Amino acid sequence: MKIIRCTKENETVYAELIGEKVYPIKGLPYENVEQDGREWALSEVKLLAPCEPSKIVAVGDNYLDHIKEMNDAIPEEPVIFLKPPSAILNPGETIIYPARSSRVDYEAELALVIGKKCKNVEEKDADEYIFGYTALNDVTARDLQPIDGQWIRAKGFDTFAPFGPCINTEIDPEHTPVQSFLNDEIRQDGNSETMMRGARKILAFVSSVMTLLPGDVISLGTPKGVGPMCKGDKIEIRVGGVGSLINYVG
C-alpha cells in the first residue's frame, strides 16, 4: 500500500495511491486506512511530504562505502542526529542554498516512518512499530559540517529535509535500491542490503534514546557517491518501491 499526503482545492488529506488514482482516507493512516469514497486523478493534486513528523532522526555513517569516501572512522554505535521539522520540503519544491554555505550536498536515503508510539523497542518487535518506508534527501551544508563538530547547523537549514513522494508499507528494508540522480545523471547507486545496521536495529537503538511518535521519521544513512549541488540543479532521489523524489536547487 502506498500512502500520500496532498492538497486539492485548499483541502489537505492523507490518501491511498493506486496507480495514477488518489483515494482520500478518513483521518490519519496509522491505525486504519479507510477510504472516504472519493477518487481523484494524481494530476489533480499537489503532493506534500507524506507525513508530519514531530522529529526527523537521521543516521550518519551507516554504509561502509560512504564512511570510506568521507574518511570517517567506523562508529561502534549508530551515529544519530536530528533534522528539525522546519527543514521539511515537499516533493517538487526548491532547496534553498543558504548564504552561509558554499557547498551543499545531496544524500539519498531510505527512511522509515513510525506507526505507533514506542520506547525501548526490541529489534525482533520492530516491524510492529514501523508503518512504512519513504525516500529522503539528507541535504547537507558540507563545508559547515567540520566547523561545528556536531551536525545540527549543517543538516538543519530550512528546506534541507525533502522526503516522499509516498510511504510504502510493503518494502523489504533489507534489500531496497537507493539512488540519486543529479540533472538526470546517476551519482549514487546503492542498496540497503549494504547498510552496517538495518532498519530494525536502528529503530531499536533510537527508541532506547527517545520516545517515537506516529509519523516520526528515521532516515537510515546514505551510500557512497554524495556530492555538491548548485543553484539551478535538479536532484532526484529514487528508492525502490517508493518512486522518485524530485527537487530543485535555488
Edge to edge, the sheet with strand 185-191 lists 94-95, 243-249, 234-239, 177-182, 185-191
Q: What is the pLDDT of residues 211-229, one digit of tens each?
A: 999 999 999 999 999 999 9
**Do residues 75 and 63 touch, judged by C-beta distance below 8 A?**
no
Contacts of 67 (CB under 8 A, 6+ apart): 61, 73, 74
Question: For the whole model, what pTM was predicted?
Answer: 0.97
* CA-to-CA dists, residue 215 to 62, 68, 177, 196, angstroms: 22, 32, 23, 25
User: Which domains does the chain show, CATH number per domain?
Assistant: 2-48 (2.30.30.370), 56-249 (3.90.850.10)
Q: What is the pLDDT of residues 150-159, one digit of tens each?
A: 999 999 999 9
The C-alpha atoms of residue 196 and residue 219 are separated, in whole angstroms, by: 14
**Res. 64: pLDDT tops 90:** no
**Res. 72: pLDDT tops 90:** no
The C-alpha atoms of residue 133 and residue 111 are separated, in whole angstroms, by: 6
Q: What is the pLDDT of residues 123-173, one digit of tens each?
A: 999 999 999 999 999 999 999 999 998 999 999 999 999 999 999 999 999
The C-alpha atoms of residue 50 and residue 118 are separated, in whole angstroms, by: 20
* CA neighbor of 172 nearest in space, from 110, 83, 121, 117: 110
Q: Which three cell numbers stand for residue 86?
A: 522546519
